Amino acid sequence: MAKMEVKTSLLDDMIGVGDMVLLEPLNEDSFINNLKKRFDHNEVYTYIGSVVISINPYRSLPIYTPEKVEEYRNRNFYELSPHIFALSDEAYRSLRDQDKDQCILITGESGAGKTEASKLVMSYVAAVCGKGAEVNQVKEQLLQSNPVLEAFGNAKTVRNDNSSRFGKYMDIEFDFKGDPLGGVISNYLLEKSRVVKQPRGERNFHIFYQILSGASEDFLCKLKLERDFSRYNYLGLDSAKVNGVDDAANFRTVRNAMQIVGFMDHETQSVFEVVAAVLKLGNIEFKPESRVNGLDESKIKDKNELKEICELTGIDQSVLERAFSFRTVEAKQEKVSTTLNVAQAYYARDALAKNLYSRLFSWLVTRINESIKAQTKVRKKVMGVLDIYGFEIFEDNSFEQFIINYCNEKLQQIFIELTLKEEQEEYIREGIEWTHIEYFNNAIICDLIENNQTGILAMLDEECLRPGTVTDDTFLEKLNQVCATHQHFESRMSKCSRFLNDTSLPHSCFRIQHYAGKVMYQVEGFVDKNNDLLYRDLSQAMWKASHSLIKALFPEGNPAKINLKRPPTAGSQFKASVATLMKNLQTKNPNYIRCIKPNDKKAAHVFNDALVCHQIRYLGLLENVRVRRAGYAFRQAYEPCLERYKMLCKQTWPHWKGPARAGVEVLFNELEIPEEEFSFGRSKIFIRNPRTLFKLEDLRKQRLEDLATLIEKIYRGWKCRTRFLLMKKSQIVIASWYRRYAQQKKYQKIKSSAIIVQSYIRGWKARKLLRELKHQKRCNEAATIIAAYWHGTQARRELKRLKEEARRKHAVAVIWAYWLGLKVRREYRKFFRANAGRKIYEFTLQRLMQKYFLEMKNKMPSLSPIDKNWPVRPYLFLDSTHKELKRIFHLWRCKKYRDQFTDQQKLIYEEKLEASELFKDKKALYPASVGQPFQGAYLEISKNPKYKKLKDAVDEKIIIAEVVNKINRANGKATSRIFLLTKNNVLLADQKSGNIKSEVPLGDVTKVSMSSQNDGFFAVHLKEGSGAAGKGDFLLSSDHLIEMATKLYRTTLSQTKQKLNIEISDEFLVQFRQDKVCVKFIQGSQKNGNIPTCKRKNNRLLEVAVP
């Protein structure tokens, strides 16, 4: 029998109910209790059909490991326990396999874990999609965009230490294989008011604290900042430090992420300069002054801060100071300049800070989009991830909360519509009859807010544009007139009498009954925040900045492009953005993640029932369950259903050989389940009531226990039989081994006895033989000793005689020698002189010197200057002479060798010497060029008729002619060109036609750049503003780089009398038209063997891989 395959399911070992659709009974209390039970057992994810409920655990859980990723990869949505990875996998596989564009909507209030959920979705998709160098780079850039946006768009609030203060929607684009190509990010309504003021217990945006904590002292000095938080008015001091948050480490992470995403160094520097300028704007303070005409005006107290801001931004100090003190109003052809009082000056300062930071954030999003956008134009599949603020109900709700809650109303509307649509499509697809479902349609609330004639946003825009005195009170008065009869609008001042005595509703507020509950909004600040005005004087001052980034952020400040038309209001802009977002979401298949915050203390293991109940209500989760359960509560494909419950029927157990649907029909008929409790679709079984499913699970559990008992019984019998047979076999083996051991012992005993007897007999025989041999030996030794004594006596006598004879002969010889010496001394005395010793010494020395030079003549080495051989010194006193002779000989043979050179050879050696000074120990390619002669004319232009046209065009003498590769900055590909160097010019010509493409005078060449590695790439930098610099610098590649650079250096020095700058660095900038591109050399293995390759990484980076 084939081995049974056991599959896991959502229903296996379920804590509480994994899918709220199966909850019985369904009410608010049972819903909360089920969530709490699962939360207490670290089950933070629960389903509502295909919707994932995520509860923030406020701690790390071991459920996001690479092993978990592999566990949920390519698995059915309901096959494993609820998890965010299951939804991510379902969305990714639908996109990859079915060509359905996906969107993942993540909603919930601040602190519920929306940002972390979006990171988990992106990390899962990055882990399961394809691999490869380019794919990995795209994935890394997409993931690293998060730290950058979090640093500039997130802040610490009372509810969340990393609260997103903007809405983010990212479209991730994939190719037909499911590999990521790039992405596009859209941002919504950055909370820019936080820049100038933060509620108590909250912080400004992270980036301000990260710069002050993590930047080096030198970097802070360049930004004119100090590390002390208390020096800056825009930073709240009561929550400057956050437990568990390392701002210094996060700053390093942000800088690294910006580099990975593709920010150039000067761009990063510009961004931080703008951040520093915003921070220092808060330190500008004003004092009142009265003019002669009686008008009040303001003056800056301390101009030192203003001076530093102007130095950072490149703005003229007087221009910015006037913009803070005066306001110019233009009407048709007239200009009216009015002074600003202190309050207006502070308003202008804060408005500038908010606009500067908000525009910087939008520029960052645009810049990131440039780096992560898909480079190919093929058809793409799209997965959108929406991480947007949740419904907000505070004690004081203002314009920001109104806009945020409006967005959530629209999301709730599309959520209900798409959920019902998806449910209806599945019923139609499976052939199940669809019945209409009653539900609350919040379109009436959306219409109250966004109606073009009577909507609140329309009334607010109309009030902002109305001439005359416009205040928040006049706006509220207009709302009381237009919206008084609306059933979801409440105001104390409206015509509706039922709210006149409602003391919970102040006179300066209005209340809207949202789908999530009633929210009271304070009307104060609505008009100003909707206008979002920045005085034109400040815009023009910013446009005049020499700081390129700041100038780009304020295009309306250009006097040549003055537009007297009023800019759109903040409300109308957000309304248009939300409409575009809704239209985008409706074109995609939706996937929902509903995030819930378990407590307000950000503490682990704490579950606040009241807080969770509040979130369940405004997220509409119970209504979602009712919509899901309006028809059939549970549905499952026939194959997994039969596989799970086949043991409940004898006909289907253990194997069903027919179609899966027929097997399920037999199974349900056997179990006598009422027909009204289920329906058969085309590919799924639909179960109406959760009780029916739980009954099946109880029967399955009992049947599994019976099967386990049967398996255990069979196993125990097999185990006992196996043990008995093993013991029987062991007894036989032990008995046979014992009998063998006993016989071996008996044999050894007999054998040892026989050996002892034999040894005694052999010993007796040996001792007898030994006695006989000893007697015979003593007799022989006695005769030998007597003979030896006799021979010794005879020898001693002969020795004595010989010694006596030798003494006599020696005495005669000594006497004779003494006599001869006496005769010689007597003969020599008549020739002896007093200085005879010195003459003997000089004579001896002369003979030694003569011998030394004669031997040197025969031992001389060759005349080659590189021959280091030299004869060995024969005498110690000739040491200095020996060394001097060696030096003189070497100088003489070097001179002889040089005298053989022609003028051409001397020139070549001079060039080689110049190359050594320029490149030795600097360029890895140099050692290989030492042994290669410098030819110069590698192309025989004068002899080859192909280059006749080129020869006629060049009148001067050609110093070098070589074929080089010109690098295209657009794609990093090479094009062959002829490189010509004459006495006055550098020329590039087409290799095929011989036409001259570029001609550069040597005086316009400013520098030559190359890497330190073993490659032939080099850049020729041209003087800015010269005629030849129109298309930018040249990036070339040559097989004779050392020779070309040396000849170019010598020729330039000869003609201009100035040394050409040779820069050797593995990273340098090249000017291409108006853009500067960074050329970076890296080490890496190549598909083309040992040939370096150039590849474009992004718009501002060319990467050369050198083997």
Give the residue numbers annotated as catalytic, written as ranges: 110-111, 115, 160, 163-164, 390, 392
Alpha carbon distance 748, 1083 (integer Å): 77
Name the nearest CA neighbour of 388 among 55, 163, 706. 163
Burial label for 326, CB within 10 Å (0-12, 13-18, 19+), is middle
34 near 20, Cβ under 8 Å? yes
Residue 506 pairs in a beta bridge with none
599 near 59, Cβ under 8 Å? no
262 near 1100, Cβ under 8 Å? yes
Q: Which residue is listed with tokens 């992420």?
A: 257
Name the nearest CA neighbour of 653 among 636, 672, 666. 666
Query: Pseudo-torsion of CA 21, 23, 27, 28, nearest 10°?
Result: -90
371 near 186, Cβ under 8 Å? no
Pairing mode of beta strands 51-55, 958-967: unpaired
Alpha carbon distance 283, 306 (integer Å): 9
Pairing mode of beta strands 381-387, 102-107: parallel
Give CA separation, 243 vs 146, 238, 246, 597, 1049, in Å. Answer: 22, 13, 8, 20, 60
223 near 272, Cβ under 8 Å? yes
1072 near 1100, Cβ under 8 Å? no
In one letter, which amino acid is 918?
L
Give CA separation, 318 vs 433, 544, 849, in Å. Answer: 76, 12, 94
Name the nearest CA neighbour of 188 among 531, 691, 570, 684. 570
277 near 554, Cβ under 8 Å? no
Give CA separation, 888 vs 471, 582, 860, 863, 881, in Å. Answer: 105, 95, 13, 13, 11
Residue 170 pairs in a beta bridge with 185, 385
Q: What is the CA radius of gyration of the chain?
A: 50
Q: What is the DSSP string of 645-656?
A: HGGGSTTTSS--
Give all strands (DSSP E) within 894-984, no chain letters: 958-967, 974-982
Give the 3-state secondary structure of residue 593.
strand
Mention every residue, 6+ apart, whose C-beta is less than 8 A from residue 1009.
1018, 1019, 1021, 1063, 1064, 1065, 1068, 1070, 1079
453 near 460, Cβ under 8 Å? no
Chain-centroid distance, C-alpha 171: 19
Alpha carbon distance 1029, 773 (integer Å): 119
Give the 3-state secondary structure of residue 375.
coil
Long-range contacts of 415-418 (CB under 8 A, 24+ apart): 415/105, 415/590, 415/592, 415/620, 415/624, 416/441, 416/442, 416/620, 416/623, 416/627, 418/585, 418/586, 418/590
Alpha carbon distance 283, 279 (integer Å): 8
Helix (H) or strand (E) holding 574: helix 570-586
